[in-house]
Chain A
């Protein structure tokens, strides 16, 4: 039956299309994330993440030939893309510190609403044995706000679960009682590694320690030394006379062009005292700022801190070439130790623990940094002491070594302070 007056008018055509009827035939998008703690490795978590192929296809495109059928071959071809996409949207934290997720295997599983890509991965919480696990889930939040991550955490026979989505992206779970001794020793190891792998901290200490086996001595030869005549001869290891200290000092004090040379210490005692002073001063100051920063009392932008560390290396090595501070090198160590402490703290930024566990971890990390530092001292100083009289040590190791260190640190400074990428420097940039 057809009555003209009841015909649908064109502007209204769209109207009805939007009257959705009140039920849907499929559930909305879910992904299933399972995390298991590892009884054999307290730092590791084993993850399994099932994500619907339909969702992955919508987000990043799996059906390469757009024929509407996703084959295993297509899924395999997109393995890296899937893993990068998904794992970038999942953060697993142990006690507030991010654990690194490494994909291991790719499989397929069937769920009630279709086939899912299964990402197997290991999440390594390197800094500590986490007592509290936090999962922050952001998969698909920009393409489907109704997506939910269904999280199950298995920990020593106990299972916990949560449903995460854009409005509620994070969940935390206490996975073990804080084992303070375990925490302490775990952080000791972290501290040691942090020093050993942090080349900028190493170079700073080395720059300060290298001259400890030498004494900076003024060459009192009267007034004939022009600025350009500082020959390499002055760097020789000759045992110059002790005399000349008496009268010359007063004159030199008024002469900007006074000349100095390195002289090897006669025995190990003064060198040892020097080293102890430098190391203790460094320890004292960096412990203070490390603690303040980890507790969140001090918070400086990392760009500033990292640039400060680069400057400290330049200053320490520069002082070997053009000494400004001759006797009290430990002052440099003390002053810049504050900056280095802030740098150490970056490894622990975000650490969240109850007070006692925090004390154990922080103490452990500090002790670790100390051990790492002392090991370097014990390794380098005996050799330096033996070589101290040689031209090789005084000229090449100290002088040219310092020049190279300055060059490297200047590169870091440029990169860190001005954000310019200098080719080659990223490779030796400590991270």
Chain B
């Protein structure tokens, strides 16, 4: 599994002005920091609805004004699920058709990042979710939806029950491996990859193992493995080719090979242009490379996506662009809207936003800590370390250090943060010792 999942690489800023964050965090002191946290909190709670009130409903001046874009029937994916919808309406009891439609929705949600299609997929399989027992393929689709919405524990529970009923279910093993990797549970991920190889053969087994190897200190091996399957044959769909290329890009980044990484990103985007996860992942890479202009060129047409907008804002901020403030406000409003519905899927992104755009390390650390209880991918390690360092509390990120000690993750960007963290800890340790022995 590779975590193309939009991670933010903000170490570029840390590298540019690492002292600014550290110093400001130390200097402001406890009281001020708490005030800042409270202010940010109230801004979120109070100001967001106030901003919403400023926006008044209006009557458009002409009937020709375009208000919204929806998936058009020129999109083959849309035609595909329109067709499936019609078929399902004709045969409402046909589980296979329902699953096909649900899977098409999930796939669309995945590639565009439009989470609305996850709910639509759930609605399609709902009648079969009422059956006792729930048919295995339906439960599998349901677990995929749960996983996509970050309900990892619930997803794993369902997958485990699927695998007791159907131990040869390759998709279930792959999804368990995926979830386990996100949760930082590498032994389970490894176990699932072995099972997957048994039930589905070399290709899937290698891909699964490469995902794990990429982040458990064996990135070199992973990269070699991926080289074997880089060309899965002419029959393989573009999404799989893009997936493998994206994974190779990530692995190359873990190895510190920027040129290779960029080559793979470009190849991946050629297979699936506009893919939401690739855009975010590539944008993070470019931010790390201190290339904000390239980031803007990459994501400017996709700002309906929150992950793309965040990268755009990061780049604008790095360039001191005049648009930055308005876009930061827009990003803030989107987080507030998510907060309002009680959704906490974006805590990683919000932590990044609070740290680098709102300059509120305390709030960021709070979010990174909450995020850590849900997901523990390398990107989650980074933001947790970065916010802890900026907040002047490197010891708060101890869970990250513990996991890396177990997993042996190697990544130049994370390694640098680890060094800073241990330096900061020994510094404060030294200070404490000095204080103890005047």
Chain A interfacial positions (CB closer than 8 Å to B):
1-3, 5-10, 12-30, 48, 50, 53-55, 57-58, 62-63, 66-73, 75-76, 107-115, 118, 120, 142-148, 150, 152, 163
Residue of A7, A28, A54 near B203 (CB, 8 A) is A7
Q: Name 11 extra pairs, CB < 8 A, besides A20-B110, A24-B148, A115-B68.
A: A8-B240, A16-B174, A20-B147, A24-B345, A26-B305, A27-B341, A28-B118, A73-B64, A109-B56, A150-B340, A163-B342
Q: How far is the CA of A113 from the CA of B59 in the complex (A)?
A: 19
Given A6-B229, A13-B236, A71-B67, do A23 and B6 touch, yes or no (CB 8 Å)? yes
Q: Which B residues touch A68, using CB under 8 A?
A: 69-75
Given A112-B330, A163-B340, do A145 and B119 touch, yes or no (CB 8 Å)? yes
Q: Is the CB of B70 within 8 A of A54?
A: yes
Q: Is the CB of B206 within 8 A of A113?
A: no
Most buried by B among A25, A26, A142: A25
Distance between A361 CB and nearest chain B CB, rounded to angstroms: 35
Most buried by B among A5, A57, A72, A76: A72
What are 21 A-B pairs at a CB distance below 8 A?
A3-B229, A7-B232, A7-B233, A15-B170, A16-B174, A16-B207, A17-B239, A22-B182, A24-B109, A24-B113, A25-B113, A27-B334, A29-B119, A57-B70, A62-B70, A68-B71, A69-B66, A72-B60, A110-B55, A113-B337, A148-B342
Q: Which residue of B lies closest to A55 (CB)?
A: B116
Task: Determine chain B's interface SS by DSSP, over half rule.
Answer: helix
B128 is an interface residue with CB less than 8 A from chain A? no
Q: How far is the CA of A20 from the CA of B72 in the complex (A)?
A: 23
Residue of B74, B182, B236, B308 near A25 (CB, 8 A) is B308
Q: Is the CB of A26 within 8 A of B113?
A: yes
Q: How far is the CA of A15 from the CA of B345 in the complex (A)?
A: 25
Q: Which A residues touch B334, using CB under 8 A?
A: 27, 112-113
Residue of A23, A75, A163 near B346 (CB, 8 A) is A23
Q: Which A residues touch B280, using CB under 8 A?
A: 25
Instruction: Give the residues from 319 to 354 in chain B that come closer than 8 angstroms, CB to CB, to chain A.
Output: 330, 333-334, 336-338, 340-343, 345-346, 348-349
Q: Which A residues touch B304, using CB under 8 A?
A: 25-26, 113-114
Q: Which A residues touch B152, using CB under 8 A?
A: 22
Q: Is the CB of A17 within 8 A of B343?
A: no
Q: Which A residues touch B73, using CB under 8 A?
A: 66, 68
Q: How far is the CA of A190 from the CA of B115 in the complex (A)?
A: 48
Residue of A1, A13, A58 near B230 (CB, 8 A) is A1
Q: Is the CB of B333 within 8 A of A19?
A: no
Q: Is the CB of A20 within 8 A of B144?
A: yes
Q: Is the CB of A21 within 8 A of B277?
A: yes
Q: Is the CB of B175 within 8 A of A18?
A: yes
Q: How far is the CA of A397 from the CA of B206 in the complex (A)?
A: 96
Pairs A-B, 3 closest by C-beta atoms: A68-B72, A25-B113, A73-B63
Residue of A19, A72, A150 near B64 (CB, 8 A) is A72
Q: How far is the CA of A279 from the CA of B171 in the complex (A)?
A: 77
Q: How far is the CA of A70 from the CA of B337 in the complex (A)?
A: 23
B400 is an interface residue with CB less than 8 A from chain A? no
B3 is an interface residue with CB less than 8 A from chain A? yes
